[in-house]
Amino acid sequence: MNQVDWWRGAVVYQIYPRSFFDSNADGIGDLIGVTQKLDYVASLCVDAIWLSPFFQSPMRDFGYDVSDYRAIATIFGTLEDFRELVSKAHRLNLKVLIDQVFSHTSDQHPWFAESRSSPVNARADWYVWADAKPDGTPPNNWLSVFGGSAWEWDPTRMQFFLHNFLNCQPDLNFHNPDVVDQVLDDMRFWLEQGVDGFRLDTANFYFHDQRLRDNPANPGSVTSPDVSNRANLYTRQLHIFDKSRPENIGFLRRIRSLLNEYPGSTTIGEIGAVNSLELMAEYTSGGDRLHMAYSFDLLTDDFHASEVVRVVEALESQIGDGWPCWAMSNHDVCRVATRWGKNRDPKFARTCLAFLLSLRGSICVYQGEELGLAESDVPFERLQDPYGIRFWPTFKGRDGCRTPMPWSQGQPHAGFTISEPWLPIDVEHHKMTVAEQEYDDQSFLNCFRRLMKWRHMTLAIRVGDCQFLPCDSANVIHLSRSHHGTEIHCAFNFTETRAIVTPGLTLDPHAAVWSPDAGQTWVALI
């Protein structure tokens, strides 16, 4: 693989800086803390890190509400700290991707302060403003992802502004070419700092329907098996006018054109939509849009092997020359060990990770996933996430997957900090620290490393074609990966009992095996 296309088949390790490592004893992780732990990250054999937002922000949504795209929040450090992080990462052969949150800003951003001041100023049209209906209600029926109307009345400007998320996160108006130019210029700023690319938050939310037409009802939403979806009326609509608009393609082409000026840089788009697989294919095809994209289709509440196979096959059937990126955990969803694992054998999470790392495409692994961490149960009085606070107890929010990394058993707060951490550390996580797993050959951590080494040395696994093979057992997956005459079979038993995968191969519960000679000799790595 050449240096320009390093991202094809790469494994990207997501770091949530606030919860990774605290270097200055204030209870919050920071950039220096990330830098100090990069040797550990490199030992995982991953190709890149993705840093969740560290920009200046009032932290109402913990950095996903940016008030200055070029400044670093003081709790995380300085621009010089960031430059040192990038420099050390590159010395360790790690690429650095950073989150860019462009669909919206914080209401504390100077752009918004100017825009809301009057309908006639230089940035009056930088955000999405609309008049109230004659009866004083919002311009249309659009809903916020975080609950309630997507419109907030502003008494200064005497108009409503659009916010697809919190009401302190006004949406930028991408129909304004000045906004597009500014966003691209801010991306260029970080490319000049040495970053190797971007994870694009809510990449299908940039444009809205300029006619502000009402969204239609979603007839299947009421029977959704997802409890959090039933609690949030957002899923009652088909979101065809407030996101995923056709104009988005033109903006993605502008992004790709910019990144082409920096060979080897890349993009990962986050796609949240009912038709997310279709958008993943559309947004990554043609060689002039995003390099890769991931969706929430493997971030569902329940595991069914047939559904997982359907998702992957559906994408493969339509992606063409596009490129997928897969994730089973991140900072927005319950950790896979709990979400899919439920009360199953702990080995189930290993099997999930083994399957993930055997897929065609690039892979995102969330910090702590390599340790097998389960979701933390954060008590209501310690909750920080406004999403969880609003919908408690039906939906407990995202804090349970954002608790700090456990580094050392026997140290205060599992070695994350010597002060009270911003979120509590689960008592079970104290038993699963990096230090405890480091020298145990059969630990989850070292199984992860074996899987990573296997993936790195096996081109068919990293970039080869993928085909699912017939299997009579439910919740057992058998697939083949092939590249230039090399064919490798992979088999995964997600059940509690022994299962026959194919004649001559019976798998123990929660086991995974790989065959370097197309099904003749099987190797277990976990």
Does the annotation count 214 as an active-site position? no
> What is the domain count for the chain?
1
DSSP string, 390-442: HHTTT---SGGGTSPPP--TTSGGGGT-SS--SSPPPGGGGGS-HHHHHT-TT
Quick one: pLDDT at residue 335? 96
Outline where DSSP puts E strands in 255-349.
266-271, 292-295, 325-327
Catalytic residue, candidates 192, 261, 321, 381: 261
Does the annotation count 261 as an active-site position? yes
pLDDT at 461 over 70: yes
Q: Is residue 486 part of a domain?
A: no
- CA separation, residue 148 to residues 219, 230, 232, 362, 391 (Å): 19, 14, 9, 35, 11
pLDDT band at residue 345 under the 50/70/90 scheme: confident
Q: pLDDT by residue (tens digit) across 396-445?
A: 999 999 999 999 998 999 999 999 999 999 999 999 999 999 999 999 99
Distance (Å, whole) CA 50 – CA 364: 9
pLDDT at 316 over 70: yes
Select the more confidently predicted residue: 226 or 384: 384
Mean pLDDT confidence for 489-506: 91
Mean pLDDT confidence for 506-525: 87
pLDDT at 341 over 50: yes
pLDDT band at residue 472 under the 50/70/90 scheme: confident
Q: Is residue 342 part of a domain?
A: yes
Q: pLDDT by residue (tens digit) across 93-138?
A: 999 999 999 999 999 999 999 999 999 999 999 999 999 999 999 9
Mean pLDDT confidence for 259-272: 98
Quick one: pLDDT at residue 3? 81
DSSP string, 252-277: HHHHHHHHTTSTT-EEEEEE-STTHH
Quick one: pLDDT at residue 230? 64
**How many beta carbons lie within 10 A of that of residue 265, not counting itself?**
21
Q: Is residue 425 part of a domain?
A: yes
Q: Is residue 487 part of a domain?
A: no
**Is 314:297 a contact under the CB 8 Å cutoff?**
no
Contacting residues for 160 by C-beta, under 8 A, at least 6 apart: 129, 130, 131, 132, 138, 139, 151, 152, 153, 154
Q: Exposed (0-12), middle (13-18) or buried (19+): which is 136, by Cβ within 10 Å?
A: exposed
Q: Is residue 482 part of a domain?
A: no
Mean pLDDT confidence for 449-466: 95
Question: Minimum mean pLDDT among 180-189, 270-279, 342-351, 362-371: which range?
Answer: 342-351
Q: Is residue 279 part of a domain?
A: yes
pLDDT band at residue 227 under the 50/70/90 scheme: very low
345: left (phi over 0), alpha (psi -120 to 50) or beta: beta
Quick one: pLDDT at residue 61? 97
Quick one: pLDDT at residue 322? 95
Mean pLDDT confidence for 312-341: 95
Q: Is residue 287 part of a domain?
A: yes
Quick one: pLDDT at residue 1? 54
**How many beta carbons lie within 10 A of that of residue 124, not counting itself?**
17
Contacting residues for 310 by C-beta, under 8 A, at least 6 apart: none
- CA separation, residue 495 to residues 298, 370, 373, 510 (Å): 18, 21, 20, 6
pLDDT at 343 over 90: no
Mean pLDDT confidence for 302-326: 95
If DSSP codes are grouped into helix, strand and coil, which group holds residue 306? helix
pLDDT at 229 over 60: no
Quick one: pLDDT at residue 222? 57
Name the average pLDDT for the chain.
Answer: 95
- Write out the residue range of the structural domain in which residue 39 sits: 11-106+175-452
Report the share of the chain in percent with pLDDT over 70. Answer: 97
pLDDT at 226 over 50: no
pLDDT at 362 over 60: yes
**Residue 41, H or E segment:** helix 38-43
Q: pLDDT by residue (tens digit) across 143-165?
A: 999 999 999 999 999 999 999 99
Catalytic residue, candidates 201, 270, 332, 436: 201
Give the CATH number, domain containing residue 253: 3.20.20.80
Model confidence, pTM: 0.96
Select the more confidently predicted residue: 182 or 226: 182
Mean pLDDT confidence for 63-73: 98
pLDDT band at residue 232 under the 50/70/90 scheme: confident
Distance (Å, whole) CA 159 – CA 132: 6
Q: Is residue 111 part of a domain?
A: no
pLDDT at 241 over 90: yes
**Is 127:170 a contact under the CB 8 Å cutoff?**
yes
